[in-house]
Amino acid sequence: MSPSDFFYRNREIAGFSNPSRATYTAVRELLENSLDAAESLEVPPNIFLRISEVAGQTESETKFYIMRVEDNGTGVPADHIPSAFGQIFYGSKYELKQARGTFGLGGTMAVLYGQITTHEPVKIESSTGGDIHEFIMNIDIQNNRANIFKHNIRQNPTGWRGTSIEIQMDGDYSRIMHRLIEYLKQTAMVVPYADITYIDPKGRLYKYERGTDTLPPLPQPVRPHPHGIDVEMVKRLISTDKKSRNMKSFMMENFQGVGAITAEKFLKSADINLKSKPKTLSSEEMVRIVRATKDYEGFKRPIASCLSPIGVELFETGISKELGISEDDYLKVVTRKPSTYLGYPFIVEAAVAAGNTIRKSHGPGIHIYRFANRIPLLFDEGSGVIWKAAHKNINWKTYSVEKDTSIVIAVHVCSTKIPYKSVGKEFMADQPNVEKEVTNAIREAARGVRSYISKRTRIQREKRRLNIFNNYLPVIAQFATRLSEKEEMPDITPLLTAVSTVIPEEKSTLAEVPQIVEESSE
């Protein structure tokens, strides 16, 4: 059985369980490939997505759709295209850095699903700057390789760089429409430097314009951290290492943050001779090295340059842009320091938003947005670690968040290895350290909520109080004027100002004075 065959038979574990879900997953996988391709070129992504119905179909629950995704990314070299889109598990380059596509499955799975439902080939066009290569192909599932029907080479007068892919598939758009739009909106929140244009099957245009041209720094590939290794990895490193003459230099060359002194101390703790040649290591010695890494505490923390958090500024831009946050709302974004679980580095970022805008758009309650390596997670919220952190670990009363408070929590976890619990990338397992960091990130971002809410409550109370003054003082003044048989009413403004300034905090209440005028003029 080939890997293609395995995923053909078990497509639900990759997120292609039924026509509506498959529609969603296909868009998602293609879009994420496109974002990756543009980011790795360090250009702000321009993504064009269109889903259209195949013409002349009768009414039925599912329909054949053509999905087209086009980007301005790196492009795929012509000789790689057949494998990149026609072979499951292609792309074996194993770099230790943050990336969206963890499993190397997504694009090919979408092609596979299209093929098994419509039997139509996929059309791929790509240019790395020179000619445009067009492939019409499908997958030979039993042999896990591409069948190429056509390969055209065209000139590229406009100098387009990027990839476009067109897949025909059996889908169910109406059932998944809302999720898909939500997915695009959330992508725009977390990738605020991307321009995404979407034309849906009814011809409706959805446009997510970039809020900034700044991209977060590219993640840099790093050597493995000793805490994350296993025996197989040591074996592989030994077999590929041509330089190291002894175990000391082997440790220094192949792992991050291991200097001469650490290498010596560590190897002593593992009872390995510093001068042994790596190639002569016995299997028992390899095991000893791996076991010793778990107990040795002198290693530095994992390097975080392989990670690319969104950063406070970009995350704020994205959230403000997509949720329409105004200055009167509460929005606080935090990026935590790097941490690790099972030897993998990760960074948690959290945003908390509250205020009128949130109340109007989301209603009361705690609303969660979840992101992992800049991918929105939309399904199975209740099973994931972020839900657990937000709902179980935090006592919201201490933040003055009551049942009828409206609050948005957005959490982004980035890592070289997101602890997904399924190939469908739907939710993260509750690794203890990840859970702790997520909880702390939310707490940190929520720290100002209490004072924001109490300030808002105070302002509202003050508004009400001034309103009363406003309503009655003019009446009293009028009455007093008449009573004292004066003709001119005294100016009550100083009085009002005095009343409203006694309390130092609520300068904003003075903004209400015009209202007073308005009301008293009635």
Residues that bind a copy of itself (CB under 8 A): 1-3, 5-6, 8-10, 12-13, 17-18, 60-62, 89-92, 94, 102-104, 115-120, 141, 170, 230-233, 235, 283-284, 286-287, 290-291, 294-295, 342, 380, 382-383, 419-424, 429
Nearer to a copy of itself, 239 or 460 (CB): 239
- Separation of alpha carbons 309 and 499, rounded Å: 48
Q: Which is nearer to a copy of itself, 282 or 395 (CB)?
A: 282
Q: Residue 111 to residues 141, 170, 426: CA-CA distances in angstroms? A: 11, 12, 21
Contact 439, 446 (CB under 8 A): no
CA 96: distance to chain centroid? Answer: 19
Q: In the complex with a copy of itself, which residue's Cβ is closer, 285 or 313?
A: 285
Tell me which H or E stretch contains 314.
Answer: helix 312-323
Distance CA 128, CA 159 (A): 9
State the alpha helices, DSSP H only, in 324-380. Answer: 356-362
Residue 267 CB: number of other CB atoms within 10 A? 22
Q: Where are the alpha helices (DSSP H) in 119-246?
A: 173-190, 231-240
Write down the least CB distance from residue 226 to a copy of itself, Å. Answer: 15
Least spacing, CB of residue 68 vs a copy of itself, in Å: 20
Report, in Å, the least distance between residue 143 CB and a copy of itself.
12
Dist. CA 48–CA 72, nearest whole Å: 9
Q: What are phi and psi of 126, to 5 degrees?
A: -155, 150
Structure-block tokens of residue 495: 């009085």
153/126 Cα distance (integer angstroms) = 10
Least distance to a copy of itself, CB of residue 315, Å: 27
Specify the residue, 18 or 249, whose C-beta has the smaller distance to a copy of itself: 18
Q: How far is the CB of 87 from a copy of itself (least distance, A)?
A: 10
Task: State which residue, 120 or 444, has the beta carbon closest to a copy of itself.
Answer: 120
Cα–Cα dist 394/307, whole Å:
27
Nearer to a copy of itself among residue 47 and residue 438 (C-beta): 438
Task: Between 136 and 287, name the residue whose CB sits nearer to a copy of itself.
Answer: 287
Q: How far is the CB of 9 from a copy of itself (least distance, A)?
A: 7
Work out how close the CB of 398 gets to a copy of itself at its nearest, in angstroms, rounded to a whole number: 26
| Residue 282 backbone class (left: φ over 0; alpha: ψ -120 to 50; beta: rest) | beta
Q: What's 60's DSSP letter?
A: -
Between 426 and 506, name the residue whose CB sits nearer to a copy of itself: 426
> Cβ closer to a copy of itself: 81 or 105?
105
What pairing do the DSSP bridges indicate for beta strands 205-208 and 344-354? unpaired
Least gap, CB of 454 to a copy of itself (angstroms): 35
Least gap, CB of 142 to a copy of itself (angstroms): 8
Strands 406-415 and 365-372: parallel
Q: Which long-range contacts (CB under 8 A, 24 or more apart) does 148-153 make?
A: 148/82, 149/121, 151/78, 153/78
| Closest approach of a copy of itself to the CB of residue 309, in Å | 23
Output the smallest distance, CB 86 to a copy of itself, in A.
14
Count the neighbouring beta carbons within 10 Å of the beta carbon of residue 295. 8
Residue 340 or 406 with smaller CB distance to a copy of itself: 340
Of 29, 8, 186, the closest CA to residue 103 belongs to 29
C-beta of 289 vs 441, nearer to a copy of itself: 289
12 versus 200: smaller Cβ distance to a copy of itself: 12
Q: Rounded to the nearest whole angstrom, what is the least distance from the CB of residue 456 to a copy of itself in the complex?
A: 35
CA distances from 96 to 40, 93, 99, 294, 303 (A): 15, 10, 9, 20, 11
Q: What is the dihedral of CA 383, 385, 388, 394, to 10 degrees?
A: -170
How far apart CA 33 and CA 24 sit, in angstroms, is: 14
